Chain A
Amino acid sequence: MELESMKALAAAISIGLGAVGPGIGIGLLAKGAMEAIGRNPEATNNIRTNLILAIAFAEALAIYALVVSLIIIFVL
């Protein structure tokens, strides 16, 4: 294959596979938070802050994959 098509493929695989793990992780986090809010609605504000922080950690992994694919497309 030529370099150009390899690059496109590499970028797509990078972000595609990189989004799987964080997707599952964020889903589990949100599930836990929803259940907690359902049981204890008064704690909603507290739970929301912690949820956003935890999601930021999980999402960072997807962002790493995204940065890698951006570098493949624009820099390499």
Chain B
Amino acid sequence: MEHHISIAAETLFHIGPIAVTNALLTAVVVTILLSVFALFAHRAFQSQKPTLFTSFVEQIIAFFYDLTESIAGKNAPIFFPLIMTFFLFIIIANWFGLLPGITGIGLEVVEHGESTVVPLFRAATTDLNATIALALISVGVTQYYGFKFLGIKKHLSKYFNADGMNSFVGILEFVGVFSGILSFAFRLFGNIFAGEVLLVVMGSLIPLVLPIPFLGLEIFVGFIQATVFAVLSLVFMSVAVEHAQ
């Protein structure tokens, strides 16, 4: 059996000028799954009857709300929806690629007169485009809250000021905003893509039993990386809205 690893997501078909890749398709599927989940949760809470499902949802939300409150304090209700969305989307996107046999479903694609079989699904976070998009959202929203809470002048003076040593620190922080995008994107992409490569390599060395502990490891890594992305965004946001001493 031939395993192929490609660092870029493969194109499945075109809608107008937009190339639909397998990572994009998976991202859409994950979004639909989460929306259906949210709809069900909404229904379940409206009926006012405590079930196993509602207490499950309550547990997740309460755990993360407490975590948000311990970091962001009184700003927690403002930041919580985005942070929770980051966490849920990333964790489901990470775990989607681990489903047994999910990469075995292929679609025949004819490109440049050659026909190749391309896997229909691929974990969305193993595409650098997806992780850069998430990183841009996180950093962009951080800047937005900085401007909103401190005002344009005060927020800009964090980066550009003529205050001796602080002017130097400000420039470093300004560069840090852009390296933040890179480190967010590469951390998530590198961890999850490396995990997929590891699983493929282990599976081709000894296909029996050996990949199972690594699957467990990847489930753990997927959870940790989703948590790290969400919590880091939260930390940056709560630092950005603080008044400088």
A interface residue numbers (CB < 8 A to B): 46, 49, 52-53, 56, 59-60, 63-64, 66-67, 70-71, 74-75
What chain A residues lie within 8 Å of B67 (beta carbons)? 49
B interface residue numbers (CB < 8 A to A): 5-7, 67, 70, 183, 186-187, 189-191, 193-194, 197, 224, 227-228, 231-232, 235
CB pair B186 A52 closer than 8 Å: no
What chain B residues lie within 8 Å of A67 (beta carbons)? 186, 189-190
Say whether chain A's binding surface is mostly helix, strand, loop, or mixed: helix
Partner of A53, one of B70, B183, B194, B232: B232
Partner of B7, one of A53, A59, A64, A70: A70
Known: A60-B183, A71-B7, A74-B5. A53 touches B231 (CB 8 A): yes
Partner of B228, one of A56, A66, A70, A74: A56
CB pair A52 B193 closer than 8 Å: no
What chain A residues lie within 8 Å of B232 (beta carbons)? 53, 56
Q: How far is B5's CA from A66's CA once the two chains are assembled, in angstroms?
A: 15
What chain A residues lie within 8 Å of B6 (beta carbons)? 74
Minimum CB–CB distance for B189 against chain A, Å? 7
Q: How far is B224's CA from A42's CA once the two chains are assembled, in angstroms?
A: 23
* Additional A-B contacts beyond A59-B187, A60-B187 (18; CB < 8 A): A49-B70, A52-B227, A52-B228, A52-B231, A53-B231, A53-B235, A60-B183, A60-B186, A63-B186, A63-B190, A63-B191, A63-B194, A66-B190, A67-B190, A70-B7, A70-B193, A71-B7, A75-B7
Nearest A residue to B227 via CB reads A52
CB pair B190 A64 closer than 8 Å: yes
6 residue pairs of the A-B complex, CB under 8 angstroms, read A49-B231, A52-B231, A53-B228, A56-B187, A60-B183, A70-B190
Known: A56-B187, A60-B183, A60-B186. A66 touches B194 (CB 8 A): yes
What chain A residues lie within 8 Å of B193 (beta carbons)? 70
Q: How far is B192's CA from A66's CA once the two chains are assembled, in angstroms?
A: 12
Nearest A residue to B187 via CB reads A60
Partner of A70, one of B194, B224, B235: B194
Minimum CB–CB distance for B136 against chain A, Å? 17
What chain B residues lie within 8 Å of A74 (beta carbons)? 5-7
Q: How far is B227's CA from A46's CA once the two chains are assembled, in angstroms?
A: 15
Minimum CB–CB distance for B4 against chain A, Å? 10
Q: How far is B67's CA from A60's CA once the two chains are assembled, in angstroms?
A: 23
Q: How far is B193's CA from A46's CA once the two chains are assembled, in angstroms?
A: 30
Minimum CB–CB distance for A69 against chain B, Å? 10
CB pair A52 B224 closer than 8 Å: yes
Partner of A63, one of B5, B7, B187: B187
Q: How far is B229's CA from A60's CA once the two chains are assembled, in angstroms?
A: 12
